[in-house]
Structure 1
């Protein structure tokens, strides 16, 4: 973490590769320990990116819901809408391997799905993939848990009624679209009832809320424009606009929300998450008698480092992960 704190720039494009480079040697040193957590691959759909990895918690630390089953944590990575993979190429392959193992070691059956990217797809295909991954895991609960082979892996059936989603950056935007865009929200609700799926909490890390810079001009990056459409479409499809369009009954039915933010995010994202997004979510929840905690600030971190510190053994850097686990554990039933 000391190296990360020395970075002066907070621009995501400029700190991305240096951040990864800072953690790779540490994660490689921890490889044997990280690899002790069993991981299995499953196919949840028919497309080339319809695969997911499941990380099995050790029996000694597996958490349990009130019905004696395993709670489930989905991690949805970011990548600017056009990059990202649950299994990164060398020398970066330990990144999400460490993250998945880290949350499994904290007691969750942890799932990391791939989803389709720009330019293969446009709105809302990536969110549809997340929906399908959730439904597939819930519908194959006994099979997924039963596929654990290592003696120390927990084989207790997973609980499809106790699912949480931790989503980062563009992955958080896709997660919000899944729960806020009316056609997707309706299809998820209908199909979830068939498999007993219930998403109880959304932990959103560095999530976009509005696209572009409003004023005389409206500008966005190429992948955003390709995926979400032109200016008019973006203003209808961005998470903040979808949130504003929700009715009271819609709000009542949403999972609980925790907002995360790295201390050293770019200024635009600091304002968007902590001030605008937090305020607008809090106000609408308040109308229906629900609350939103203050945005969690991960000390010392930049936009990229929070995910990559997990599994390094850096107590200060991993504190955010421990605190998220405590937030979720307080909501296990």
Structure 2
């Protein structure tokens, strides 16, 4: 984490991406044997090479209940990049995340999804929905040796992944009620929910390909969908945990502030010694919590797992999942 603290220009995600990753590669390499000891299986959930998912299975002695909660992870990459499996020397990235949560009793799922230029709105969100559907429908096939608790499904999304989760939840007609009812909570990490011409954290050519023209962009971003959903008295959201890095780019920080503000209720959350109170707009939902990831930049949270540094955010997610499962 000392390297992360020393970085300048944290608003420039492409600039800090490779150096941040490479700073953690040696630390992950030291734990390779432990990370790879966690069982992982690959499944096909759709018709293309981008429709594959990996399931990380918890050791049976780590599961606290008869069945293990499911956490489905949507990684980031700006709609144009991202892989569930990377090649060496960064091949432990995301494997470390799956192994970390599985080691602690969670069935962890990482799906790939279609990317620009082969995808336009809302196809990646549809892919995410289909991955969730596959896990629910094929739980028995995919649950050896640990049964999956498909009544307790959670989603974790970083950056673009958080965007896709919110789109999946809010775009009218995309998520069937039988899937929505099984999603107990979503953890949204460093999401960009509003995109303007001044946004510095995106490739605007990729955004134009994905969303369409300016009018389509304005109506399709998560904040726009949230505003539309707030007018529907029947629209419900699961519990929400919003995670932001201390050193997020300014446009992402502002986007999260606006997103929280609009979520629909007044809440107070103690976060890293600071008290955040947001007055929201009336959208129905069960719970919203905020957690600031101390010392992190936009890239670093996933990289820290199994290094013994900066893992507090993941422990917070685990505690949150346990609380939601315990509230049945």
Q: What TM-score does the superposition give when structure 1 sets the normalisation length?
A: 0.88
Matched, 1:292 2:288: yes
Cα distance change, pair 222–289 in 1 and its aligned pair in 2 (3 A): closer
Q: Does the aligned pair in 2 maintain the 1:285–1:292 contact within 8 Å?
A: no
Residue in structure 2 matched with residue 60 of structure 1 by the alignment: 61
Distance in 2, Cα, partners of 1:214 & 1:280: 21
What RMSD, in angstroms, separates the aligned Cα atoms of the two structures? 1.9
Could you tell me how far apart the structure 2 residues matched to 1:211 and 1:288 are?
24
The structure carrying a bigger helix percent of its residues is: 1
Aligned position for 2:260: 278
Match of 1:117 in 2: 115
Among 206, 210, 220, the residue aligned to 2:194: 210
Q: Which of 235, 238, 245 is residue 228 of structure 2 equivalent to?
A: 245
Q: How many residues are paired up?
A: 308
Correspondence list, 1:1-333, <5 A: 1-10=1-10, 11-64=12-65, 68-146=66-144, 155-185=145-175, 188-189=176-177, 192=179, 198-213=182-197, 221-246=204-229, 247-251=231-235, 253-273=236-256, 275-283=257-265, 286=282, 288=284, 290-293=286-289, 295-314=290-309, 317-332=310-325, 333=328
Q: Higher strand proportion, which one?
A: 2
TM-score (norm 2): 0.89
On the 8 A contact 1:212/1:220 being kept in 2, the answer is: no
Contact 1:52 1:112 in 2 (8 A): yes
Could you list the structure 1 runs, at least 4 aligned residues long, displaced by more than 3 angstroms after superposition.
Answer: 247-251, 282-291
Unpaired stretches in structure 2, ≥5 consecutive residues: 266-279
For structure 1, the 5+ residue unaligned runs are 147-154
- Change in Cα spacing, 1:179 to 1:289, as seen in structure 2 (3 Å) is closer
Query: Counterpart of 2:252 in 1: which secondary structure?
Result: helix
